[in-house]
Structure 1
Amino acid sequence: METIILLVHVLVAVGVIALIMLQQGKGAETGASFGSGASQTVFGSQGSANFLSRTTAILATVFFVTSIGLAMMARQKADSVADAGLPSVQIEQIVPANDAPFSVDALESTTESDAPVLESQPVESSGSNNSESTK
């Protein structure tokens, strides 16, 4: 069944591509005023626009339906493989020996750095204007 749907899917995809390539663009009607419109009377007085547009819409619908069908079949096949009785993979979690979280002090004592250490100085806050204290 999957092979049949896949074959129809590929044939419809090729058909949609061919029909889209056969259709004219929106600017193609300007050539009809200069005498080239007589060549489009094969499909009737309105040209090939209605026939090709409807056929493209039908083939596009069939393409989407076969796409959904193939997706459902792939999902069923994936579920059947998952239920095939294969051993499940267990992931081990590595936990530190002591369950205590890391502290910043312990991290600082073990880490050496070449960066200069800036000592913090208390900031004096006064109710007066800061411009007087900078003088």
Structure 2
Amino acid sequence: MQVFMNLIVVVQLLAAIAMIGLVLVQHGKGADMGASFGSGASGSLFGATGSANFLSRSTAVCATIFFAATVALAFGANPGGARSSGGSVLDSAAPASAAVAASAAPTGPAIPNQ
């Protein structure tokens, strides 16, 4: 199981690095914004740019792989989920927060009212 989780982490890292690279290489929508104001361009300012090109489709594929790897890691971290313990995450955290609140209580002598 640990080898499978390590493989998913590697896939997630590679997808993240590829997605960062693809986003940085792409040409933004607002790059020609100044030219559209003064040059009498027929296209709209933020209108449709036509069909998706190879870079945008590759970015979508990398994002899907990254999302799937993240979901797989989340389910792999707790295979039984909340159903196996019969409660939620907050139910298991409640005793710990009560212990912290009890330890934060003052332990010195009380000052009497005058």
TM-score by length of 1: 0.43
Query: When the two structures are aligned, how many residues end up with a matched partner?
Result: 71
Q: Is residue 22 from structure 1 mapped to residue 28 from structure 2 by the alignment?
A: no
Structure of greater relative contact order (alpha carbons < 8 Å, 6+ residues apart): 2
Deviation at 1:23, TM superposition (A): 1.0
* Alignment-derived partner of residue 113 in structure 2: 112
Task: Give distance in 2, aligned partners of 1:56 and 1:14.
Answer: 11
Q: Which runs of 5+ in 2 are unaligned?
A: 37-48, 86-94, 96-111
- Point out the structure with the larger helix share: 2
Equivalent AA in structure 2 for residue 23 of structure 1:
Q
Q: Is residue 65 from structure 1 mapped to residue 65 from structure 2 by the alignment?
A: no
Q: Which runs of 5+ in 1 are unaligned?
A: 34-45, 83-90, 92-110, 114-135
Kindly name which structure, 1 or 2, has the bigger radius of gyration based on alpha carbons. Answer: 1
- Taking only aligned residues, the RMSD between alpha carbons, in angstroms, comes to 3.4
* Alignment-derived partner of residue 51 in structure 1: 54
Deviation at 1:55, TM superposition (A): 0.6
Q: Which aligned runs of 4 or more in structure 1 are off by greater than 4 angstroms?
A: 30-33
Matches within 5 A, 1:115-130: none
Equivalent AA in structure 1 for residue 15 of structure 2:
V
Task: Give distance in 1, aligned partners of 2:77 and 2:5.
Answer: 9
Q: Is residue 4 from structure 1 mapped to residue 13 from structure 2 by the alignment?
A: no
Deviation at 1:27, TM superposition (A): 2.4
TM-score by length of 2: 0.50
After superposition, the Cα gap between the structure-2 partners of 1:32 and 1:51, relative to the gap in structure 1 and judged at 3 Å, is farther
Task: Give distance in 1, aligned partners of 2:11 and 2:80.
Answer: 20
